[in-house]
Amino acid sequence: MRIDVGVRTHSMAAVCLLLGACAMGGSRQATVATSGSPGGYHGAPSSGGDFVASNPAPSHAAIDRGSSIVEPVPDRPGLGTSWGEAVSAPISFSPFVRSAGSPWAEVLLHYNDAHGASAHAAYLGTHPQPLEVYAGDGSLSVSLVDQHGRTLPGYAANGRSLVVGEDGQRYRLVVRNATSARFEVVASVDGLDVIDGQPADPNRRGYLVDPHGVLVIDGFRTSDDAVAAFRFGKVAESYAAQTSGDRNVGVVGIAIFSERGAVWTRGELGRRDTADPFPQRDYSMPPR
């Protein structure tokens, strides 16, 4: 299984990751795109998503965004995503040209611990269930899974998707593609791009998911060969709180871009399947 990251041919370089299926066994690789070419990177984490040497979050000096000084963050309830151990996840490059400047679909996932998710769900008036969110016309799905590949439970109501996690639990972001086309996936966690750790923007390049493929994003990318695993943790200890601030902690964002050219999505196949050979009976009219 491969994960690719696409890039716009008229702008900055992008990263495409080629990763394995959600199953923990087997080698995985990812792909990233570059500017000036229609391609992206390809790469793969080690077999079974094995961990490598400890990879602590960078110091404030190493992650300085420029002018601001990171101040101590007051305690907040619930979970954030911490900078976890290093995980092998090599990448390579592959071409990808977006069909449009705006995403084909977008997915938003809120996450929290059981108490916080329950409180949020009560606020929205809903109940828990295994949670997999479908994007666009349902051709792609997004979920958070644990280290064994099991979909995390959650709530869905009033347009909100609330995933339940546990403090210290490792998780992965999984995108499944049920079409015969490639898509580019730009992902963010706690408002930070999963590839460069900067404040997220859908105009940045993302990972590529192959036709009928599964994209697995294991963590924040630290190099062409590794990522820092996603782990639920205290808000004050989250990667976001230690870098740009905790304002957007507790949310995962996915912007999905279709590739230039015809795309056989479920919606398009449904239109083809229900095409009416006799939509009306009338006299012929001259062309407009």
pLDDT classification of 73: cutoffs 50, 70, 90: low
SS3 content of the chain, % helix, strand, coil (to 5): 10, 40, 55
The b/e string for 20-56 (b: 16+ C-beta within 10 A; e otherwise) is bbbebeeebbbbbbbeeebbbbbbbbbeebebeeebe
Residue 185 has pLDDT above 80, yes or no: yes
pLDDT class of 108 with cuts at 50, 70, 90: confident
List, for residues 42-51, the tens digit of each pLDDT value. Answer: 333 333 333 3
Q: Kindly tell me if the per-residue pLDDT of 255 is higher than 70.
A: yes
**Which pLDDT value is given to residue 53?**
35
| Mean pLDDT across 71-91 | 78
Specify which of 36-45, 106-115, 157-166, 251-260 reaches the highest per-range mean pLDDT: 251-260
In this prediction, residue 69 has a pLDDT band, given cuts at 50, 70 and 90, of low
d(CA 156, CA 248): 20
pLDDT at position 75: 74
What mean pLDDT do residues 154-161 have?
80
Domain boundaries defined on the chain: 2-49+76-270
Q: What's the confidence (pLDDT) of residue 29?
A: 66
- Signed CA dihedral, 101, 222, 171, 248: sign only: negative
State the Cα–Cα distance between residues 36 and 13, nearest whole angstrom: 8
* Angle 119-231-257 from CA coordinates, rounded to 5°: 85
More confident residue, 108 or 226: 226
Any residues with CB less than 8 A from the CB of 273 and at least 6 apart, and which? none
* Cα–chain center distance at 85: 19
Q: pTM of whole model > 0.75? A: no
In this predicted structure, the answer to whether residue 188 has a pLDDT above a threshold of 90 is yes
Give mean pLDDT, residues 102-114.
81
Judged by average pLDDT, the poorest of 6-10, 21-25, 199-203 is 21-25
